[in-house]
C-alpha cells in the first residue's frame, strides 16, 4: 500500500459550465486572485430600430466566479495550460496573439 488515501471525485451541487470571455486578476502576497467573466450581446435596442443598427448593440459582462491560486497552484496551472495550448496548436494550428487579431481588425476596418 502506498499510504495515499483513496480519492473520491464528485461534482459540486453548484457546478456550472462557463464560456470564458475574459479573465482579470491581481497578484497578492499569497497568490493570484482571478475573476472569470462571460459576455452576452444584448440586441434589444438593435431590433427596435428601423433600419436595424448594430451600433445600438450592448455588451454585457457577467463575473461568473473568482479563482484564488496559491503560488504552487499558479505554477501547476501555468504548466498544465502551456501543455494544453501546445496540444491544441498541434491539432488545430497556431493561435494568434491578441495583438495580431487587433492588427487584422484594424486592417479590415481600413479596407471597408
Full pLDDT tens readout for the chain, 112 residues: 578 899 999 999 999 999 999 999 999 999 999 999 999 988 888 888 788 887 888 899 999 999 999 999 999 999 999 999 999 999 999 999 989 988 888 877 776 5
Distance CA 39, CA 22 (A): 8
> Would you state the cell numbers that stand for residue 90, as one nine-digit string?
498541434
pLDDT at residue number 81: 96
Tally the residues of the chain. 112
Q: What is the dihedral of CA 8, 82, 24, 61, to 10 degrees?
A: -80
Amino acid at each position: 500500500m502506498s499510504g495515499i488515501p483513496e480519492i473520491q471525485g464528485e461534482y459540486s451541487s453548484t457546478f456550472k459550465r462557463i464560456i470564458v470571455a475574459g479573465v482579470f486578476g491581481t497578484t497578492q502576497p499569497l497568490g493570484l486572485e482571478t475573476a472569470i467573466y462571460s459576455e452576452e450581446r444584448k440586441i434589444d435596442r438593435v431590433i427596435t430600430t428601423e433600419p436595424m443598427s448594430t451600433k445600438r448593440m450592448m455588451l454585457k459582462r457577467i463575473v461568473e466566479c473568482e479563482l484564488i491560486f496559491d503560488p504552487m497552484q499558479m505554477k501547476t496551472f501555468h504548466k498544465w495550460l502551456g501543455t494544453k495550448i501546445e496540444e491544441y496548436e498541434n491539432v488545430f494550428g497556431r493561435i494568434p496573439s491578441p495583438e495580431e487579431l487587433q492588427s487584422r481588425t484594424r486592417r479590415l476596418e481600413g479596407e471597408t
